[in-house]
Chain A
Amino acid sequence: MVSAGLLSAGIPAFSQEHDSLLHLLPGVEIKSSQTPYSPVGVTLDYLNIESDYLLKNQGNTLMGSLEKIPGIRALSTGTGISKPVIRGMSLNRVVINEYGIKQEGQQWGADHGLEIDPFNVNRMELVKGPASVRYGSDGIGGVINILPPAIPRKDTFHAGALLQYKSNNNQIGTSVHVAHNKNDYYTLARITYQDYGSYRVPATSFTYNGYRLPLYRERLKNTGGNELGISLMQGIRRKWGYSSLYFSIYRQKAGFFPGAFGIPRAYQLNDIGKDRHVDLPRQEVQHIKIISNTHGHIGNVILDADIGWQYNRREELSKPHAHGNGPAPEGERALGLHLQTFTANFQLQAFPRYAFSLITGLAMQHQENSRDGYEFLIPAFRQTQAGLFSSLKYEAGKTTWTGAVRADLAHQYAPRSYTTQYDEEGLPSGTVQRSPEIRKKYINGSAAAGFVTEWTKNWKIKFNAGTAYRIPTVTELTANGIHHGTFRHEMGDSTLSPEKGYMLDLSLSTRQKNIQASVSPFLNYFDQYIYLRPSGLFSTLPEAGQLYHYTAGKTVFTGFEASLNLFADKRWSSLTAMEYVWNKNITTGIPLPFTPPYSLLQEFTWAPVRFWKLAEELQFRLSGQYFASQTRTDINEPATNGYFLMDFSTDLTLPAGRHKLSCHFQIRNLLNTIYYNNMSRYRILELPEQGRNIQLILKYEL
Chain B
Amino acid sequence: MRKYKKPIAAVLVVFLSLFVLAPARPVEANPAIVITAGVGLGVLSTMIAAGACFTNTDDATKAVNNYWNSSSTDMKSKWEVIASSLAIVAGSTAYNVTDELWNDMRSYAKEKYNSGANAVNVVEEAPSEYMVDSTQYQAVDVGSDCFSVQGQNIAKPGSPGYYYRGIFKNGVAVCTETNTSATALQYDYSVVRVDMVLRARVVTHGTQNVIDYRVLANLATVPVTARLAPVSYSYNATGAPWVDETTEEADWDTIDELLYDWYYDAVSGEWQKQARISTGGPNPDDPDPPGKGRLIQIGPTLLSDISNMDAEKLRLGKGKVTEKDPTKPYEPAADPSPVTPPSMGTTTEKTPQPSTRTTTTVEEAPKEGGGSTRTTTQVAETTTPVKNEDGTTTTTKTTTTTITKQDYDPQGNPEGSPTIETKPGPTSSTTENPTSEKTELTTGLIDILTDTEVNPADGKRYPTKLDFGPLLIAGAKLTWKFPFSLPWDLARAFSPFANAGEWQPKFDVVVPDTAILKGFSWTADLTMFNGLASVARKFELLIFSVGLIMATRKLMGGDV
Decide whether A and B are members of one complex: no
Q: Which residues of B contact A (CB under 8 A)?
A: none
